[in-house]
């Protein structure tokens, strides 16, 4: 989990440990799960997903974290992209 502030926005980057540092591909879509962007505090999935409430932008990658965000109602299952078999979702609050 990594938190950043940019003006009035709070960006939360979440990923499962097993995808950190990997490059995911699906046709022309390529997602680098870059350590500079995602690597921060190592926390439980529940703790990470609880942070969504306080953020304006959320970027998440991985079966566990995206699955829990769906369970908690933060992400609609149809809004999830599958990139190389790994779920990816974003939340932007206005």
Q: Where are the domains of the chain?
A: 2-92
| DSSP secondary structure letter of residue 75 | S
Residue 75: what pLDDT?
A: 97
Write down the pTM of the prediction.
0.93
CATH fold label, 2-92? 3.30.1860
What integer best gives the mean pLDDT of the chain? 96
Which of the four pLDDT bands, split at 50, 70 and 90, describes residue 60?
Answer: very high
Q: Which residues, listed in sequence order, are joined to residue 62 by a DSSP beta bridge?
A: none
Residue 94: what pLDDT?
A: 83
> Mean of the pLDDT values across residues 51-71?
97
> Mean of the pLDDT values across residues 16-24?
97
> Mean of the pLDDT values across residues 43-67?
96
Assess contact for 40 and 14: CB atoms under 8 A. no
């Amino acid at each position: 989990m990594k938190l950043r502030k940019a003006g009035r926005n709070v960006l939360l980057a979440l990923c499962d440990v097993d995808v950190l540092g990997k490059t995911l591909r699906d046709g022309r879509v390529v997602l680098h799960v870059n350590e500079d962007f995602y690597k921060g505090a190592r926390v439980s999935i529940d703790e990470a997903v609880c942070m969504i409430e306080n953020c304006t932008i959320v970027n998440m990658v991985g079966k566990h974290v995206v699955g829990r965000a769906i369970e908690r109602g933060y992400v609609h299952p149809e809004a999830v992209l599958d990139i190389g078999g790994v779920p990816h979702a974003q939340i932007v609050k206005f």
